[in-house]
Amino acid sequence: MLDISPAEWTAILLSLRVAIIATLVATPFGIALAWLLARRDFWGKSVLDAVVHLPLVLPPVVTGYLLLLTFGRRGLVGAFLADHLGIVFAFRWTGAALACGVMSFPLLVRPMRLSIEAIDRRLEQAAETLGAAPWKVFFTVTLPLALPGVLAGMVLGFAKAIGEFGATITFVSNIPGETQTISSAIYSLIQTPDGDAAAGRLVIVSIILALGALIAAEWFARRATARLHGN
């Protein structure tokens, strides 16, 4: 039905790779942060919360530019990582993954936080009376009960990451095969004469991916409810 060309496949596969890596790397940080925001009171909590949500409200081009300043070759963190660890973000697919991870982070954290907040803390107390140290309580009670929310956050984050455009193109440009994701490919195609058909195909692919992710997130949310009621 969709006659997808090799160049389009390259963009689709790159998008998938970027979004999957971004989601997987962001998840442990997301869980830790969600737990922190749900469970701990500390000085500067509202500031941290605001910073996490910043990519949601900042113009993506601003986020991308800030990433470039920080993680670019001459950026403070970027230079350090390149010189000491050999990790380069600028104009690489890894940079696209970083941009997508940062942009999708607020969406990834939110369902995780809500599901941790929804857990009955008395269950954790019960676990403690049965001899479970705090970290065991986390892994045997808190995390399993929050799992549907964690997965929902991952799905939403993935959906956001795969569609990210502004920050990515600002930070790592639009290099076919390296940093050209579905979004930036569509952007290039609609500026090219006769690019409409190819752009149309990629548009359909994006819609399918986004819808699939939303349906999956919804399904996980429903599972979460069932799980918390012990059915």
Partner 1 sequence: MLRVDIEKKLGEFSLQASFTSEGRVIGLFGASGAGKSSLVNMIAGLLRPDRGTIVIDGETVDDTVAGIHVPTYRRRIGYVFQDARLFPHLNVAQNLDYGRRMNSLASDPAQHKRVVDLLDIGALLDRRPGKLSGGERQRVALGRALLSKPRLLLLDEPLGALDEGRKLEILPYLVRLRDEANVPMVYVSHDVAELRQLATQIVMLKQGRVTSFGGVKVLT
Q: Which of 1, 133, 191, 194 binds partner 1 (CB under 8 A)?
A: 133
Question: Is 134 a binder of partner 1 (CB under 8 A)?
Answer: yes
Place of tokens 């969709």: 2
Scored b (16 or more CB within 10 A) or e, 97-121 reads bbbbbbbbbbbbbbbbbbbbeebee
Question: Is 129 a binder of partner 1 (CB under 8 A)?
Answer: yes
Question: Is 32 a binder of partner 1 (CB under 8 A)?
Answer: no
3-state DSSP assignment of residue 195:
coil
**Residues 6+ away with beta carbon under 8 Å from 104:** 22, 23, 26, 156, 157, 158, 160, 161, 164
3-state DSSP assignment of residue 192:
coil
Q: Which is nearer to partner 1, 129 or 191 (CB)?
A: 129
Site residues for partner 1, 101-120, by CB under 8 A, read 120
**Residues 6+ away with beta carbon under 8 Å from 11:** 176, 180, 181, 182, 184, 185, 202
Question: Is 126 a binder of partner 1 (CB under 8 A)?
Answer: yes
Q: Which of 10, 70, 140, 188 binds partner 1 (CB under 8 A)?
A: 140
Give least dist CB 191 to partner 1, A.
51
Give least dist CB 137 to partner 1, A.
8
Question: Is 177 a binder of partner 1 (CB under 8 A)?
Answer: no
Question: Is 227 a binder of partner 1 (CB under 8 A)?
Answer: yes
Question: Is 141 a binder of partner 1 (CB under 8 A)?
Answer: yes
Question: Is 82 a binder of partner 1 (CB under 8 A)?
Answer: no
Helices (H) and strands (E) in the chain, counts: 11, 0
In 10 A of CB 131, how many CB atoms? 7
Question: Is 176 a binder of partner 1 (CB under 8 A)?
Answer: no
Question: Is 229 a binder of partner 1 (CB under 8 A)?
Answer: yes
Q: Which of 68, 108, 145, 169 binds partner 1 (CB under 8 A)?
A: 145
- Do 116 and 35 touch, CB atoms closer than 8 A? yes
Give least dist CB 93 to partner 1, A.
38
Binding site for partner 1 (CB under 8 A): 120, 122-123, 125-134, 136-137, 140-141, 144-145, 227-231
